[in-house]
Amino acid sequence: MVLLAACATTGESDTGSSVQYLMITSGGTRTAVAPERRSGSRGGVVRVEPIRREGPVARTNAQLPRSVTASAVDVHPGPSRHDFEPAVEPRTPPGTGDVVLPYPVTRIFRGFGACRGNRHYHEAIDIGGLGPDQGIGTPIRSMNRARVTLIGRGADDPGEFGRPDTRGGTVKRGGHELPRSRVVDGYGKVYFFTRDRGRWRSGNVVVTVGIGGPLDRHEVRYMHLGAVRPGLEVGDIVEPGEELGVLGGTAVQESSPHLHLDIENPEGEKIDVAPLLGLEATARECPEPSAAGKEARVWTRAVTLPRCGKWEREEDFASGEYYAHDVLLTLEKGQKINVALQRTGGRWRPQIAVSGGDGTTVYNGSSATRAGQGGPLKVTRRESGKKSERAVVVVEAKERTTLTVRVTAWPSERSGLLLPKDGAYALAVETACDS
């Protein structure tokens, strides 16, 4: 079965029930599919009957196809239109089954990580843009040989896919001021953002179903596109690496522009995309609803930092399940990092806490602690976040060691320990290249 999905939903209805969509063929067969695009002038979505079913949408341990190999990956250090000229000829021979990256995976924002109840609700991966203006206007490519089954455009159906923001000037997303529109070669004037999310919460979207290879019969959804490639139509066969559209932020109201990529196998299960892209699995076990104590409500992920440069992550607290987000790091002797936490949504005050590998708190959000003195870490406050949208610390390792950076909120008058559900943030950890 095929479920509609977007960055903040798994196809759930307002009542919380999962929804599958059935298309009734001329022979009376009821087939679970994503809605096909209407052939009329509006280019909208055929209305199909929602059928409710119980239970989770997908298992996170679904069987994965093989991951992309180095020979199949098309990685660019920093994309531009010159780097990503539209593919006129297929970049791989038809039927080879090759899988390529849809976009460079230097900046991964979110994956199977956030939970609602005891299940994941962001069953996808968000790949952040690269280059000037957070990568808007850079190409998104097909991962595999596939047939296009759905194209959704806000300009055709704003109620479904979001009302294009055709105003002039700039818009703020993820703490960055970005142009609302720009002329892109081969596309004309592109409006990269929408004024609302639309019912699909996907923005401009292309959906494909794989033909042969490791993603055979897998449905792949490419969401939040700034624009769909002109001339691309439902029914077209696209080859691995063929351009589908350009990066944007349609239906994204707070985060930086990114590609939301989700994949569903033929059994209707969402799969963790990260291993397919050659990345560490992003899926984590969700806490049981009955789990007690604050530490049972901490979402944790381990990160490998670049030797020099920046690691970035954008997240939100929409699940309502967590009291903190933890990032586990390893620093080499003499390595110094700048950790910046920027509030990008909601009304809360960002707080950073740092603890050593033995669990000792060495920085409590305001200052270094006495317990951490003489230890392997030196933490210097730049901004506490108590009275602003931003918290910043500098951490230096006196020897090779591990540490935990905790993202949470300063106490407020609201009840409970959980983070505000409307909260969102960007976390950046930067290592100086001479460190």
pLDDT 10s digits, 40-98 = 323 333 222 222 222 323 333 455 555 453 333 333 333 444 443 333 333 333 444 47
Report the C-alpha gap between 393 and 334 in whole angstroms.
Answer: 16
For residue 50, what pLDDT is reported? 28
SS3 content of the chain, % helix, strand, coil (to 5): 5, 40, 55
Left, alpha or beta for 277 (phi > 0: left; psi -120 to 50: alpha)? Answer: alpha
Poorest-pLDDT segment among 46-50, 108-112, 187-191, 231-235: 46-50
Is 227's pLDDT higher than 50?
yes
Burial level of 214, CB count in 10 A (0-12/13-18/19+)? middle
Mean pLDDT computed over 114-130: 69
Report CA dihedral (355, 397, 174, 127) to the nearest 10 degrees: -100
Of the candidates 265, 255, 231, which has an alpha carbon nearest to the alpha carbon of residue 245? 231
Report the C-alpha gap between 149 and 131 in whole angstroms.
Answer: 30
For residue 371, what pLDDT is reported? 86
Is 28's pLDDT higher than 80?
no
| Residue-averaged pLDDT of the chain | 75
Contact predicate 337/429, CB 8 Å: yes
Is 358's pLDDT higher than 50?
yes
Residues 195-222: tens digit of each pLDDT: 999 999 999 999 999 999 999 999 999 9
Amino acid at 143: M
Domains of the chain: 55-61+80-90+99-277 (2.70.70.10), 294-431 (2.60.120.380)
Amino acid at 262: D
Specify the pTM. 0.60
Residues found in the chain: 435
Long-range contacts of 168-176 (CB under 8 A, 24+ apart): 173/134, 173/249, 173/252, 173/254, 173/255, 173/256, 173/257, 173/344, 174/134, 174/254, 174/255, 174/256, 174/257, 174/314, 174/342, 174/344, 174/426, 175/256, 175/342, 175/344, 175/426, 176/133, 176/134, 176/256
CA distances from 308 to 271, 305, 339, 434 (A): 32, 8, 14, 8
Report the C-alpha gap between 353 and 399 in whole angstroms.
Answer: 20
Residues 282-332: tens digit of each pLDDT: 655 555 544 445 555 677 778 888 888 888 888 877 766 667 888 999 999
What's 63's DSSP letter? P
For residue 51, what pLDDT is reported? 25
Of the candidates 198, 328, 268, 217, which has an alpha carbon nearest to the alpha carbon of residue 2? 268
For residue 206, what pLDDT is reported? 98
Which has more confidence, 281 or 50?
281
Strand partners, 325: 299, 407
**Start-end of H helices in 187-294:** none
- Report residue 114's pLDDT band, with 50, 70 and 90 as the boundaries: low
Mean pLDDT computed over 353-380: 92
For residue 413, what pLDDT is reported? 58
